[in-house]
């Protein structure tokens, strides 16, 4: 079977090279409309979206995360730009108290953004690495910088921009599916 939704799911890639041009307001509004239309447990909508287009703010979060990554070993010593110079980054913070599924809900809205972006010709990559910046020392500073509501915590970020390159589809592991009955 094939249709536009299935094609978008199939063709989406994590994009790690972006053109310097900013996305338009209409494109951003389209992504945010899709984001808030995502499902969530008990319709709790336990998310907040902070759209950052100010590169100095993105750099501040980047530097905080890269400092921790550099000290952590694990092959991250060379990482300098976890946001891949994307012109827009959407930080999704979670109300962890809302339900036990808040983090999952934030992942679902992040993927909804990614698919909506792909459907209008934009590229995205979901980003967990920024979480490294919340190391116990910088937390209050980063929460304030990104205007997280009180009690919300970083869940995931989505880098967005005009793709300047693509990649192969990821290989699918074996043994992921059982069908019973």
Ligand X SMILES: Cc1cc2nc3c(=O)[nH]c(=O)nc-3n(C[C@H](O)[C@H](O)[C@H](O)COP(=O)(O)O)c2cc1C
Options 125, 142, 146, 155; binder of ligand X; rule CB under 6 A: 125
CB closer to ligand X, 28 vs 118 = 118
**CA 167, 154, 89: angle at the middle one, nearest 5?**
45
Region of 9-17, 42-50, 72-80, 134-142 interacting with ligand X (CB under 6 A): 9-17
Smallest Cα–Cα separation from 19: which of 104, 99, 123?
123
Q: Does 127 bind ligand X (CB under 6 A)?
A: yes
CB atoms under 10 Å from CB of 10, counted, come to: 10
CB closer to ligand X, 141 vs 167 = 167
Give residues 147-176 in contact with ligand X (rule: CB under 6 A): 156, 167, 170
CB closer to ligand X, 32 vs 126 = 126
Residues contacting residue 83 through CB under 8 Å, at least 6 positions apart? 58, 61, 62, 89, 127, 130, 157, 159
Site string (21-60) toward ligand X, x via CB under 6 A: ----------------------------------------
Helix (H) or strand (E) holding 31: helix 25-36
Question: Please, what's the largest Cα pairwise distance for the chain?
Answer: 55
Residues at the site binding ligand X, with contacts judged by CB under 6 A = 13-14, 16, 125-129, 156, 167, 170
């Amino acid at each position: 079977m094939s249709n536009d939704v299935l094609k978008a799911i199939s063709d989406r890639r994590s994009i790690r090279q972006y053109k310097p041009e900013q996305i338009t307001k209409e494109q951003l509004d389209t992504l945010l409309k899709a984001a808030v239309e995502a499902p969530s447990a008990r319709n709790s909508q336990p998310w907040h979206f902070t759209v950052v287009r100010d590169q100095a703010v993105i750099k501040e979060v980047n530097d905080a995360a890269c400092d921790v990554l550099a000290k952590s070993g694990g092959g991250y010593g060379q990482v300098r730009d976890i946001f891949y110079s994307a012109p827009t980054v959407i930080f999704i913070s979670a109300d962890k108290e809302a339900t036990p599924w808040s983090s999952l809900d934030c992942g679902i809205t992040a993927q909804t953004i990614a698919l909506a972006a792909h459907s209008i010709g934009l590229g995205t990559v979901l980003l967990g690495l920024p979480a490294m910046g919340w190391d116990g020392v910088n937390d209050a500073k980063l929460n304030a910088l990104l205007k997280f509501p009180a009690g919300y915590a970083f869940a995931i970020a989505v880098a967005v921009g005009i793709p300047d390159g693509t990649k192969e589809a990821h290989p699918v592991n074996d043994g992921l599916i059982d069908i019973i009955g």
